[in-house]
Chains A and B, each alone.
Chain A
Amino acid sequence: MKRKVLSLAIASVLSGALLAGCGSGSAGSGTSATQAKSDAAPAASSAVSTEAASESTTPASAAKSANIPKLTDQPLTITLWDIATEDPAKTIQEGAVARFMKDYPNITVNQVHQQNDNYKQQLVVAMSSKQAPDMYMHWGGGPMAEYYKSGFCNDLTDMYAQYDHPDFIDAAVAQSTYDGKMLAIPFGGYSGCDLFYNKTIFEKCGITELPKTIDDLEKDCEILKSNGYVPFSLANANKWTGSMWYMYLVARHSGNDEFNAAYTQENGGSFTSEAFVWACDKIQDWVKKGYFPEGVNSLNADDGQDRQLLYNETCAMMLHGSWQCSSIKADNADWYTQNIGVMPFPHDAEAEAKGVPQNVEVGTAIGNGFSFNCWKSDGSVDQDKLDACYVLATQYYNDDTYNQQQLEAGNFPSIKGMEKNITDPNQKIVADIFFNASNVQLWYDQYLPASVTEVHKNCMSDLFGLTKDGKQIGEEEDKAMQAALKEQ
């Protein structure tokens, strides 16, 4: 896990603005332009603020603030791929592009909405034929590294240091970074993973205080069970849904240490180490006690079967991504307000006593990021295009209008200070948990190398299906991890 530590370190160096712009040979707008960081005010607004003081000569760039690259006045077309097939994302993201094109009429953005399900395949097909878009969204993690290593991703380190950008939270910068290089501009917002619960059921069962520790949680589960409820809703046909429980229990028992060690497989690091086995035992114990619905492996989250169990009041809690706030609200706002509450994943008292941090958050700090793929035919960087993409991603996506609309849609921009604008009480809690996290552990299935992800996901079936125990699961993950490390 050296890599992550390193990237975090570099990220903080970056946001600390110590890296002055090492002139990337672009249209000479940059001196040591590192004003990007101003902790006091939300940076987005500072970046977007209409300081008309700009003395840039082209009318095109006059509209926006000073410290951004001067864009070409030649006709230019940018092809952009995203997955905003559906509203509200569609309207919000098309709006950002429209504002950009209004300010830069010579630049055409060809915005293509791909389908989420097959998006990764689409990118592979296009990249293998050298037809990849100039600007494309992704989820960070292993695939981003792969795109970069294969030459489909411009290194943004210098530009990010040199030019204005929103004041992204550190975790988002860290997740946009690989091998010490800034590779993506976040635009989707962060998602945490929290425990949703039905307030009405809790009340009915006389649970007045939310469980602080895992022991409390178990006590509450027994109460719920004796009242005829299944404590946790889960649809594990998708496998990454069950993984959330696994990730959290590991994180509560060992912070990030054991996962980081297992990731490198160095210094005795292993997926069979104590926290992993403990997490598996805990889950399997809970499965046996009936804390999860029967047949979780056949329930499908894509088809809403986990929410169904919540809606028909079979289950009282659900561990899920914070986007569920808006999903449930969209399904039925009244029901959501009346019944749904959110709490952080309870602490492991025993580990806490040993000083293990109990505020590691599982989730994603960037949600979606844009990477750029701007090259000339001789293989050098197409700076004109890259500048345009950079401005589009940092100044139009992530501008005030965009962020406001994102908040209204229930997405939380990964920008400092944004959390103040949240009104929904549950979403406030989600933000609070997220910003007080000591570290954000990206979903394993996005963080691990793709081949390990597959093994990990299959193990999650076995975990909840009780077909393998913690040690066997750990050994399989170790084997896959070692094979993947050898490949690199």
Chain B
Amino acid sequence: MQDTDGTTTRTAVLVSLGSAAPAEALRADVEQLRDRGYRVHLVSRVAPVPTLAEVLDGRTAVGRPTGGTLQVSKLKLDPHRLPGAAVVVLGGTAGPLVRQADVLVAVDATALPAVWLAARVNRRALAVNGLPAAVSRLT
């Protein structure tokens, strides 16, 4: 991704589709990614806790905060399975972000299908299960 001043910024997109708010425990790893020059964006169902939100570069809400299936036309889709995952990470505002990301990270188990699918669409991105593994791979 190219900034307005011509510099290239790398982007890490974290995906969380679980029912718990992304926690402060992720903060240290987010800060490490930022220290390495990454913009860190969260795509999540539930808003992160404030102490995590303050170190993120942005957050995109997807799915329903209370959980459950998504109504798409006459279909009910589960975002934890592939068809629903496609809607939440490739559709709406999350789509362009995911397609341009350099790193895609599933920060909880429910996000694994979504991030796997995103990696099929954005083949140049590193796609990782777990933020610690992403941090260690980028060092």
Answer yes or no: do A and B interact. no
Interface positions of B (Cβ within 8 A of A): none
